[in-house]
Amino acid sequence: MSDTNVAAETKQTARELMIPKFSFRKHGGLVALLIILAFNIAVTPNFLQMQTLFVNISQVATIAIVAVGMSLVIATGGIDLSVGAVMAVAGALAPIIFQSSLGVEYPVAGLVLSVLIPVLVAALCGLFNGTLVCVLKVQPIIATLILFISGRGIAMVMTNGQLQTFNMPSFSLLGTGKLLGFPFQGWLALGIAAVVAWIVGKTLFGRYLLAIGGNEKSAHLAGAPVRKVKIAAYVICGSLSGIAGLIVVAINSASDAARIGNLMELDAIAAAVVGGAVLSGGRAPIFGAVLGAMIIQLVKYTLLANGVADEVALIAKSMIIVAAVYIQQSRKE
Amino acid sequence: MQFDSSTFDLRRLLGNSSSTQALGVWAALILLIVFALLRYDNFGSAYNIVSFLNYNSMFILIALGMCFVIMTGGIDLSVGSVAAFSSVIAAFLSEHGLEYALPGGILAGMVIGAINAFMIVAMRIPPFIATLASMLGAKGAALVISDAQTVSISWESNFTALGMGKLFDIIPWTILIVAVIAIIAWVVLEHTSLGRTVLAVGGGQEASQLMGLSVKRTTCIVYIFSGACAGLAGVFLASGFGAGQPLEGLGWELSAIASVVVGGTLLTGGMGSVPATIAGALLLGLLFNVLNFENGLGIISLSAHWQSVIRGAFLFVVILLQARMASKADLSLRRN
């Protein structure tokens, strides 16, 4: 592929991704979401109540935020298995900071630092992943496997494996607060998705990102800063995982390092894939990932609300993933 | 990875991973064993050796299946769930005796392996996604049929003989079975056309196809083999620990992948070695064994939480070494 081709193709895909034309295949996710909604309205008792909406929004926000980051990494042709473990690290750090002597003495500084430091540490985790992948050329699965295995262990060591409960209303606002009548983290997820979608669609960074995922070698030859862009994708993914970890802790007013973000990597990958991401890279449908997160959360909710066991929900989730990828696969051919 | 002429030298003796990494893992293993023998009194005791090998036989088995999948350039994330699933199946069948429970458990694993193969070959779903889905699916199935409870096995039948019995009261059956499977796998990989095809598929699917090799058939075989290995590991689990355990197996796929990688196999496929994979699995297991002894000495005391941190750090070191060797190899290639 020549350089000009890549540039042209990237432009085209970037535009296509941002303003998709309507077709059933492309909007399969949206149709699926509508079907699930219609089913719930007809069958699930008390579905059309604000309480239901709030529960679902607060659950879907963390999946969506992580899935947005995951989409960026997948767009480069990579994968990040460490998101759940990074959530645990960030979630374990926050209460430690605002419960420290410094945090107790200066509550405002403690609050600010208990948000900033965990997100910064999460970003460093992303930097670690990105450096392994881009500088040392380690395959993404293996590179992120390191933090997947040890990240949760680090969080457990930090908290001594114990549940940290706390009473810190200002911090809990992150998970329980409302803005314009809707849960705060829902707005946060939407805002993050909008910013990232803008970055992917409108900035040079976004062009490079998609070009690298489409064909790394030709992107490199065309002068794209491959290393920097790929590392940035992992750093963003790490930071977003950190934010999601803080939200989970804030919702529960408790931090359990063993459980925060457990199996989140699967949900995030599934949401990204259901939303239209392709594992070989080159596509970053950000709002698709949010849509995917909504579908996954709603399927979970639908099954639970109708008395179907959690286990069966797992099987349903696996079938959704396969169906989504299969539809994409036939689209490519 | 591509084939190179260096596969025909001495290293072939230790498998065709065509690099000094295979030698590195053996060196590390021997060093760790010597260190532990000198430091801990009971490390060399028959009891420790047998119980260590008995426990790790499950992980070696899963790593073997994973090794073949990875050599074709694929990956199998479902093995941990498959082991849990088949342990439940075996526990249910245990009252009819080992002659039903053993094939039943293996068959359960092979069925999921076949589903994986179908998704990958016929539906053309990437292995990572396909086996991720079957990982969730198999876990769900295990929880559904067991009601999310451990399934107690029948103690009246001969089922426990497999996991708890020993040949001449010395060598556990599990170790013997794994040894036999490993030798067969080694011979198949190094000396049969199937083994060469596995490596060729991993080296380049299209090229293999053009050469007239059956890529689809080979892909099916490796995933079903991996499923069978995980299924057998599940039977070991149920028989050795006295229960079918639907919640077990979490993260087993990742330790299996780590074992294969530590053994010097690259995830891109086209190369790999059975003995080095076993060495990798033993090395990872031994690390814990040594840690336990170290804790026993009372000089340091590491909580269980440290284990995963240390395992991750160890994987990090191995990857760093691999990356350095790979870049060296890259340089020497360029110079030529």
Q: Among A311, A318, A319, whose Cβ lies nearest the Cβ of B143?
A: A311
Least Cα separation, residue B116 to chain A (angstroms): 11
Does A139 touch chain B if contact means CB atoms closer than 8 Å?
A: yes
Residue B23 phi, psi dihedral angles, 5° rounding: -65, -35
Check if the beta carbon of residue B103 is closer than 8 Å to that of residue A247: no
Does B312 touch chain A if contact means CB atoms closer than 8 Å?
A: yes
Q: What is the mean pLDDT of residues B266-295?
A: 81
Which residue type occupies B169? D
Least Cα separation, residue A153 to chain B (angstroms): 5
**Residue A129 has what pLDDT?**
94
CA nearest B322 in A: which residue?
A138
Distance (Å, whole) CA A325 – CA A278 = 8
CA nearest A321 in B: which residue?
B133
Check if the beta carbon of residue A16 is closer than 8 Å to that of residue A229: no
Q: Among B139, B257, B309, whose Cβ lies nearest the Cβ of A150?
A: B309
Least Cα separation, residue B305 to chain A (angstroms): 5
Does B301 touch chain A if contact means CB atoms closer than 8 Å?
A: no
The single residue listed with the structure tokens 């293999």 is B208
Does B260 touch chain A if contact means CB atoms closer than 8 Å?
A: no
A160 with B326: Cβ contact below 8 A = no
Pairs of CB atoms within 8 A across A/B: 132
Does B134 touch chain A if contact means CB atoms closer than 8 Å?
A: yes
Least Cα separation, residue B282 to chain A (angstroms): 18
For an interface test with B, which of A150, A303, A328 has the most B Cβ atoms less than 10 Å from its Cβ? A150
Does A269 touch chain B if contact means CB atoms closer than 8 Å?
A: yes
Q: At what angle do helices B193-203 and B215-241 cross, to 10 degrees?
A: 110
Burial A52-62 (b: 16+ CB within 10 A, else e): beeebbbbbbb
**Residue B20 has what pLDDT?**
56
Distance (Å, whole) CA B240 – CA B234 = 10
- DSSP-based three-state secondary structure for B124: coil
> What ipTM describes this predicted complex?
0.74
B316 with A151: Cβ contact below 8 A = no
Beta pairing, strands A182-183 & B171-172: unpaired
**Residue A332 has what pLDDT?**
55
DSSP letter at B192 equals S
**Residue A72 has what pLDDT?**
94
**Residue A12 has what pLDDT?**
52
Burial class of A248 by CB neighbour count within 10 A (0 to 12, 13 to 18, 19+): buried
A315 with B308: Cβ contact below 8 A = no
Best CA proximity match to A98, nearest among A123, A117, A119, A124: A117
Average pLDDT score over chain B: 80
For an interface test with A, which of B116, B305, B306 has the most A Cβ atoms less than 10 Å from its Cβ? B305
Domains of chain A, CATH where assigned: 3-332 (1.10.3470)
Q: What is the mean pLDDT of residues B290-313?
A: 74
Does A105 touch chain B if contact means CB atoms closer than 8 Å?
A: no
Give B41's contacts (C-beta < 8 A, 6+ positions apart).
none
Q: Among A313, A317, A322, whose Cβ lies nearest the Cβ of B119?
A: A322
Indicate if the pLDDT at residue B13 is higher than 50: no
pTM value is 0.79
**Residue B83 has what pLDDT?**
93
Check if the beta carbon of residue A242 is closer than 8 Å to that of residue A90: yes
CA A230 to each of CA A97, A235, A288, B25: distance values in angstroms, whole numbers, following the listed order: 31, 9, 21, 31
Distance (Å, whole) CA A122 – CA B40 = 39
Domain that holds residue B268: 5-335
Least Cα separation, residue A325 to chain B (angstroms): 7
A139 with B308: Cβ contact below 8 A = no
Answer with the residue of higher pLDDT: A196 or B216: A196
A322 with B133: Cβ contact below 8 A = yes
Residue A254's DSSP bridge partners are A165
CATH of the domain at B72: 1.10.3470
A269 with B132: Cβ contact below 8 A = yes
Does A198 touch chain B if contact means CB atoms closer than 8 Å?
A: no
Give B195's contacts (C-beta < 8 A, 6+ positions apart).
B188, B189
B144 with A311: Cβ contact below 8 A = yes
Indicate if the pLDDT at residue B332 is higher than 70: no
> What domain count does chain B have?
1
Does A51 touch chain B if contact means CB atoms closer than 8 Å?
A: no
Per-residue pLDDT of chain A (333 residues; tens, 9 = 90+): 444 454 555 555 555 555 444 454 566 677 778 888 888 888 777 777 788 888 888 889 999 999 999 999 999 989 998 999 999 999 999 888 888 887 778 878 888 888 899 999 999 999 999 999 998 888 888 889 889 888 888 998 888 878 888 887 778 878 787 777 788 888 999 999 999 999 998 899 888 898 888 888 888 888 888 889 999 999 999 999 999 999 999 988 888 888 888 888 888 988 998 888 887 888 888 888 999 899 888 888 888 888 777 778 778 878 887 887 787 666 655
Does B126 touch chain A if contact means CB atoms closer than 8 Å?
A: yes
Give A49's contacts (C-beta < 8 A, 6+ positions apart).
none
Q: Among B258, B261, B326, whose Cβ lies nearest the Cβ of A137?
A: B326
**Residue A27 has what pLDDT?**
66
Residue A304, Cβ neighbours under 10 Å: how many?
Answer: 14
DSSP letter at A25 equals T
Highest mean pLDDT among A302-311, B178-187, B319-328: B178-187
**Residue B210 has what pLDDT?**
76
Least Cα separation, residue B253 to chain A (angstroms): 11
How many angstroms from the chain centroid is the CA of residue B306? Answer: 23
Joined together, the tokens standing for residue B75 give 């990956």
The single residue listed with the structure tokens 């290293």 is B11
